[in-house]
Structure 1
Amino acid sequence: MTRVEELFSPQAILNYVKNREQTPMLGDILFPETKIEGLDFKMIKGANNLPVSASIHGFDTETEIGSRDGISYSVEELALIKRKIKMDEKLIIQLNFPRSTQEETQAINQIYNDVDNMVNSVKTRIEAMRMEVITTGKLNINENGVKTSIDYGTPKVQQSTTDWTSTDAKILEDIYNWTDKVVQNVGCTPTRAVTSKSVLNLLLTNMAIRKAVFGINADKLLTKDMLNQLLSSMDLPEIATYDSQYRTQGNDGKYVVKRYFEDGKFVLLPEGKLGDTIYGLTAEEIELRGKSDTKIESFGNIVAEIYSTKDPVARWTKAVATCLPSFPYADQIYIAKVK
C-alpha cells in the first residue's frame, strides 16, 4: 500500500468532509439540507397554506370529502454535480518519499486543500441553482449534455419589471403593492426582501424615502439600517443584500465571473425556509458503502474520494453529489426586475 492510500483512506476523507467547518451560504439558510436514499423525489408545486374550512353536517350523514386543489406534484431527478483535480507527480513523490516532516506536512495539506476546493466547487453549483430559483422561479440546466427545465410555480402576477432610476420613483408604493399582491393571492405576508447592492443604492438615494426618514433634512446620509427601520415601521419587508460571486471554467480553461443572486432583482420572501436542498445517492457512495472499512454513518451529502487510474497512471481528488432544490413556497414570493 502506498503512502497516499495510507494517509487518505476512503474513511479518512469521508470523516474530513463531514466534520470540516464551513460558513453557511444564504441558500443553506433558505433551503436547509436533507438527504434521501435515491435519485428521484416528489416535489410539491404551489403549496398554498391557506386553511380550508370543514362544513357543518347533519347527524348520520356522510363526511364531506376534501381535495388538494391548487397543489400539483412533479417527480424530479436529482442533478449529478461533480468535479475533480489531478495530483501532479511531484506531489505524489513528496507524499511517498518526503525528505522532511515539513515537506510531508505541506504535501498532506495540499491534498486536503484540493478536497476543500472540490467540495466547495460542488457547493458553489448548488448555491447557484438555489439563487436562480429565487430570482426566476425556475431552474434551467444546459451543460455537459444535460438539458432540463423546472418551473416551480411562481405566479406571473407576482413577477414584474419596474424603473427605480428616477430619484422620485415611487419605490415604497411599489413594495407595498407587491406585498399586498402576495397577501391577496395566497394569504401570506412577505417579511423580508433580498436584492443587490445596486438596487439598494437606488432606495437609499430615493427622495421620497429620504424625506420619509429625515423630513426636511433629506440631504442627510441614509443607511440600510435606517431604511429597514422605516420599512419595519410600515410593516413592509426588511432588506438584505447578496452580492457574492463565483467563477465557472470553460473547456478552454478560461474563467468567467458570475453572481449567485442576479443583479437588479428585488425578491420578497415569506418567513421561514423556502424549501429544502435535496441530496441523494451517488454511484461513488454506493461503491464505498460496499467496502468493509467505511461506515455508512460517515457519509455526508457530498462525497469526496481519492482514486487512481491506470492508463494513464494518475491520482485524482474528486467531489460528487446528486442534488436539487425543492421550492414548495414558490407561490409566496414576489420577483421584481429593477431597471
Structure 2
Amino acid sequence: MPKIQDYINTKEISTYIEKLPPVDTLDESLFPRKKQIGMELKWIRGSKNKPIALRQSTFDVAVKPRALSATLKIDAKRMPFFKESVLINEEDRQMLLLALNSNNEALIMQLAAQIFDNYTSLVEGAEVQMKRMRCQLIQNGEINIVSEDGEIIVDYGVADENKEVLLSDAKWSVPSADIVGDIERWQNVFVNKGMAKPSRAIMTGKTFGYIKTNTAIIAEIKGLNNVIITDQLVKNYLKEKLNLTVAVVAGQCYNEAGSPINYYEDNKVTLIPEGTLGESVYGTTPEEADKIYGSGKLDTQIVRTGIAITAMVKEDPVTVETKVSQICMPSFERIDECFFATVN
C-alpha cells in the first residue's frame, strides 16, 4: 500500500513549487539571485566593495514583517539563517490516509496539492524575508532584520554625501519646494566626481504625489501645454528635464500579528544608475550541506536558487514535517552610485 511519504516528499513539493508562475519584481531585477558555497558574510559587499559591518540596533521597530525565524551570529560573521516548519494537519493526514487506503489516485493528488499549498506559503515566507531586505536596502542603504537576538542593523556604508534629509520648507510636501533643484543637486554629486549621473528614481505613489502637486512643476508643464496633470505627463517631464525615469513602487507583506504592512516607506526617494545594483546572495544551508557533503540521509531539495525544503517522516502518528530554510542576504556593490533622500 502506498505511504504518505510516497506523495509528500521534497521531490514532489519542489516540482509543484517550481511550476508556479514566476513573479517579476523591481527589487529582484536590481538584485538578481546568486548562489554561493558556504555562509560567510565576507561575500556580501557594500560601499567601496568592502565587507559590510553588523551592529546591534539602538532603536526598536514598531512593526515586524512576517518572516521566518532568524538566528544571526554577529561574532561569526555569517549571513542570517531563516527557518520554519509545518506539520501536515490532522484533518489532512486522516483524509490522505483514507485516500491511500482506497487507492483513489485522483483524490490523493487533490489532497496532496492542498497540502502543497501550505508548503508554498513557507517558501513565500522565505521570499518575503529576502524581498524585505532588498526593499529596505533600496530605500535606506541598510537593513533591519528580525532575529531571535533582537533588531539587527546591517550597515552597507552609505557615504554622507550620498544621502540627505530635507527639512522645513524644503520638504517636498510643501508646494513651493524646489524639487527639480533637489534632484539636480543629488545628480551632480556624482557628476562632480566624474561618475555617471543616476538616471532612475524609486519612490512610492504618495511621494510621487508631491511632484504632481508642486507649484513650479505644474506651472512649467501647463506652460508648455494647458492640460490636466497626469502621472505620465509628470514622468515625461522629469525624463525630458532631468533625464530621470521614475519607478513608482508598492507592495505589502504581513507582520507577525497578521496585519499588512508596506515593503516601501513613503517620503523616501532613491536615485540609482542603470543596470543591476548588487545580488541576492544565497548561502548553503545545513540541510543542503548534508545533502551534498554529509550523510545524504535528509530528504532535501533546493528551489529558487537557495531555499532548502526538507521533509522529515514522523511516527506515532505517522505524518510528515516539512521545513523550509535559507541563508541569504543582498550584496550592494553599486551603493556608491546611488543617492538616498528623505523628502518629508
2:309 counterpart of 1:304: yes
2:156 counterpart of 1:152: yes
Matches within 5 A, 1:132-151: 132-145=136-149, 148-151=152-155
* Aligned-partner SS, 2:82: strand
Distance 2:320 2:16 in 1: 19
Shift of 1:248: 1.8
2:275 counterpart of 1:268: no
2:51 counterpart of 1:73: yes
Shift of 1:85: 2.6
Distance 2:324 2:172 in 1: 43
1:56 aligned partner:
none
Structure 2 segments unaligned to the other structure (5+ residues): 54-76
User: Is contact 2:143-2:154 (8 Å) kept?
Assistant: yes
2:29 aligned partner:
29
2:281 aligned partner:
278
1:198-218 CA deviation, whole Å, 9 max, x = no partner? 011111121211222221766
Structure 1 segments unaligned to the other structure (5+ residues): 48-70
Which letter does structure 2 place at the counterpart of 1:37?
I
Farther off after superposition, 208-217 or 264-273: 208-217
* Aligned-partner SS, 2:255: strand
Identity %: 23
Return closer, same or farther for 1:188/1:77 CA change in 2, 3 Å cut-off.
farther
Q: Which one of the candidate residues 327, 331, 336 is aligned to 2:336? A: 331
1:207-259 CA deviation, whole Å, 9 max, x = no partner? 211222221766x422222122112212332111111010021xxxx223221
User: Is contact 1:118-1:317 (8 Å) kept?
Assistant: no
1:152-195 CA deviation, whole Å, 9 max, x = no partner? 12112221122111222211111111111232246131110110
Distance 2:142 2:328 in 1: 15
* Aligned-partner SS, 1:272: coil
Which letter does structure 2 place at the counterpart of 1:72?
K
1:95 aligned partner:
96
Which letter does structure 2 place at the counterpart of 1:89?
E
> What CA RMSD, in Å, does the superposition of the two structures yield over aligned residues?
2.7
1:18-75 CA deviation, whole Å, 9 max, x = no partner? 453320222210100000111014333323xxxxxxxxxxxxxxxxxxxxxxx53358
2:197 counterpart of 1:189: yes
Return closer, same or farther for 1:91/1:174 CA change in 2, 3 Å cut-off.
same
* Aligned-partner SS, 2:92: helix
Shift of 1:114: 1.1
Q: Which one of the candidate residues 233, 239, 250 is aligned to 1:243? A: 250
TM-score, reference length from structure 2: 0.81
Shift of 1:276: 0.4
Distance 1:338 1:260 in 2: 18
What is the number of residues matched between the two proteins? 311
Which letter does structure 2 place at the counterpart of 1:88?
N
Return closer, same or farther for 1:85/1:236 CA change in 2, 3 Å cut-off.
same
Matches within 5 A, 1:45-60: 45-47=46-48
* Aligned-partner SS, 1:77: coil
2:188 aligned partner:
180
Return closer, same or farther for 1:187/1:263 CA change in 2, 3 Å cut-off.
same
Distance 1:308 1:14 in 2: 17
TM-score, reference length from structure 1: 0.82
Shift of 1:125: 0.8
Return closer, same or farther for 1:121/1:294 CA change in 2, 3 Å cut-off.
closer
Farther off after superposition, 226-235 or 270-279: 226-235
Distance 1:80 1:256 in 2: 24
Farther off after superposition, 255-264 or 23-32: 255-264
2:321 aligned partner:
316
1:6 aligned partner:
6
Which letter does structure 1 place at the counterpart of 2:132?
A
Shift of 1:296: 8.0
Return closer, same or farther for 1:116/1:297 CA change in 2, 3 Å cut-off.
closer
1:223 aligned partner:
230
User: Is contact 1:33-1:277 (8 Å) kept?
Assistant: yes
1:232 aligned partner:
239
Shift of 1:307: 2.3
* Aligned-partner SS, 1:73: coil
Distance 1:261 1:39 in 2: 27
* Aligned-partner SS, 2:44: strand
Shift of 1:116: 1.3
